[in-house]
Chain A
Amino acid sequence: MEYTTVSIPRELAERVEDTLEDTSFTGVSDLVKFLLRSLTASYEERGRLTEAEMMEVAERLRDLGYLE
């Protein structure tokens, strides 16, 4: 995986470091990655169903009686 560097003021990094104790974040970078992924998740089109897949899902739902 390739990386790019983001800069934040050292003072901010230190304040954040203090709050990470006893969480499962391994450091400031880990927290920042998590927050940015969460923010961008809603903007990404991830895994949609194709027409064919949609028809298969509909068949399954019909067999289960959830759809007519």
Chain B
Amino acid sequence: MGLLDRVRSRKRVAVIGIDGVPYGLVERGTEEGWMENLLAMRSSDRMRAALPVVSSVCWPCATTGLNPGGTGVYGFQERTDDGDGLHVPLSTDVHGERLWDAAGREGRSSLVLNVPVTFPPGETRGTLVSGFLSPDVDSACTSSATAERLKKLDYRVDADVSLHGERDRFMKNIHETLDARLRAFKNLIGDGGWHLFFGVVMETDRLNHFYWRDYAEEGEYLEDFLDVYRKVDSFIGEVESLLPEDTELVVMSDHGFTSVEREVDVNAWLESEGFLENRSREEDNSLRGVSGSAYSLTPGRVYVDLKSRRPGGSVDGEDYLDVRSDLAEFIEGLEDPETGESVIDSVHTREELYEGPRVESGPDLVAHPVDGYDLKASFGEGPLTSEGPRTGMHTLDDASLLSTAELDGGAEVWDVFPTVMELLGLRPGDVYGTSLVRQV
């Protein structure tokens, strides 16, 4: 088939992302009636996220169909390719073609709102407003008209997480941010003229991080917590009725959530065993001053400190496999010093997890924790384990995928790209994920 000689279909797809919503919560919501619009979905199942389990890894995988070895994004902070620097990956660091660009190439227009790692916003066929990491609404938009329109609706890029210490105020802020977001989404969706809608609600992730215990243990903010989900459910119902007839709806999350018991500082552990000799770095956004045979970056990424990778590195190439295997053994054996319980569920090598042209920039090992232990990596003097202000942590196996279309179960997050492409009537191309559209 030629470039524009496709099935002449007017198929449309609307993807509503609900960041960090575990399938267990969806099940409970449909049973207890606070997410009943989801009962109308034809397919509904858990989906497996990517490792390491963070939004900046999972959304690029979902929207390119690639494994992190293809996108090249392994976390909210990455090593620079040479030197001691660390940087926060932006949209320009995501390798692979994004869903809306692939659709645009085939003449389909998109409305893309608030998807993680889309700042700075690129030109796409349609409208794109970038998400988290955008400094403000103006810089999140390529069109000043869109920015003005959003500001009139009191749209904000993100909830104000700095308020988390003031629980009442923060909950109010989450609700205000959510209300404005849903209002803006409905407003822009109503314009029509798109084949693909891809909008992500982030407030669920912010809520889950700081109020999970209120949900899990019926705490003070339980009703406010459920209200967020009631609003999201209402929104999904309203969008469904706004959608043109031939539109398939997909509702997805990028990872799940569970309660945090302890935060575990992998760098503190590496230091205690002698893998990391000096943990203090000279400045933020740099590894300068750090020395040893290995270090970690959040969450659970461990890097062998090779001489060939940065000036401060100390491990010779020929020792790489031995050091890595010693590290893996040590990390697998980590135990909670208070309870003696195992902290780590599994440790994976780079080759096991990643495939694609950007594997070399990935972590050498990725540790996946047991539920309840959230893996951190500080470069200061923090203790081995601690309790942070967050009560919820990400999980790997229970992201959610629901749709009005008939989709197979057992999805992995990178399957979203080829699935949506197929629902649009387009060929997915050569990607790591596979389409879940049920073959009749």
* A24 and B5 contacting across the interface, CB-CB below 8 Å: no
Task: Give the complex CA separation of A21 and B374 in angstroms.
Answer: 53
Question: Which residue of chain A is the closest to B209 with respect to CB atoms?
Answer: A64
B433 on the A face (CB < 8 A): no
- CB nearest neighbor in A for B134: A47
User: For chain A residues 17-68, which have a beta carbon within 8 Å of chain B?
Assistant: 19-25, 34, 37-38, 41-42, 46-50, 53-54, 56-61, 63-68
Q: Check A68/B378 contact, CB under 8 A, given A57-B133, A60-B161.
A: yes
Contact yes or no, B122 A65, CB < 8 A: no
Interface presence of B380 (CB below 8 A) = yes
> Are A19 and B4 interface neighbours, CB within 8 A?
yes
Count of B interface residues, CB-CB < 8 Å: 54
Number of residue pairs A-B, CB distance < 8 angstroms: 93
Tell me, yes or no, whether B429 is within 8 Å of chain A by CB: no
**Given A19-B5, A66-B298, A67-B77, A24–B107 Cβ distance below 8 Å?**
yes
CB distance from A10 to the nearest CB of B (A): 19
Q: Would you call the interface of chain A mostly helix, strand, loop, or mixed?
A: loop
A30 to B326, CA, bound (A): 58
| Cβ-defined contact, A19 with B122, below 8 A | no
Interface centre among B5, B107, B376 (most CB of A within 10 A): B107
Q: Give the secondary structure class of B's interface.
A: loop
Residue of A nearest to B9 (CB): A22
Partner of A65, one of B3, B101, B209, B285: B209
B76 touches A61 (CB 8 A): yes
For residue A48, give the distance in angstroms from its CB to the closest CB of chain B.
7
B4 touches A38 (CB 8 A): no
Contacting A at CB under 8 A, from B25-52, are: none
Kindly state whether residue B152 has any CB partner on chain A within 8 Å: no
| B263 in the interface (beta carbon within 8 A) | yes
Of A22, A56, A61, A66, the most chain B CB neighbours within 10 A belong to A66
> Which residues of chain B have C-beta atoms less than 8 A from A57's C-beta?
88, 133, 135
User: How long is the Cα–Cα vector from A57 to B21 in the complex, in angstroms?
Assistant: 23
| Contact indicator B119/A47 (Cβ below 8 Å) | yes
- Docked pose: A46 CA to B5 CA in angstroms: 33
> Which of these, A21, A41, A42, contacts B8 with CB under 8 Å?
A21
With a CB–CB cut-off of 8 A, which chain A residues contact B269? Answer: none
Beyond A54-B88, A68-B380, is A34–B120 a contact (Cβ under 8 Å)?
no
Q: Which residues of A contact B121 (CB under 8 A)?
A: 46-47
Q: Answer yes or no: B255 CB below 8 A from chain A CBs.
A: no
Residues of B within 8 A of A19 (CB): 2-5
Given contacts A20-B107, A21-B8, A66-B54, contact A34 B378 (CB under 8 A): no
- Chain B residues within 8 Å of A, Cβ to Cβ: 2-5, 8, 10, 54, 56, 75-77, 88, 90, 92, 101, 104-109, 119-123, 125, 132-133, 135, 139, 142, 158, 161-162, 164, 195, 206, 209, 263, 265, 284-285, 298-299, 374, 376-380, 382, 388, 390
A-B pairs with beta carbons under 8 Å apart, 14 shown: A21-B8, A22-B8, A23-B4, A24-B108, A25-B107, A38-B105, A41-B123, A60-B161, A61-B76, A65-B209, A66-B56, A66-B77, A67-B76, A68-B377
8 tightest Cβ-Cβ pairs between the two chains A and B: A23-B107, A47-B120, A68-B378, A22-B8, A53-B135, A63-B161, A66-B76, A19-B4
Beyond A41-B122, A66-B54, A68-B380, 16 additional pairs, beta carbon < 8 A: A19-B3, A23-B108, A25-B107, A41-B123, A46-B122, A46-B142, A47-B121, A57-B135, A59-B162, A60-B162, A61-B77, A61-B88, A64-B161, A64-B206, A66-B299, A68-B382
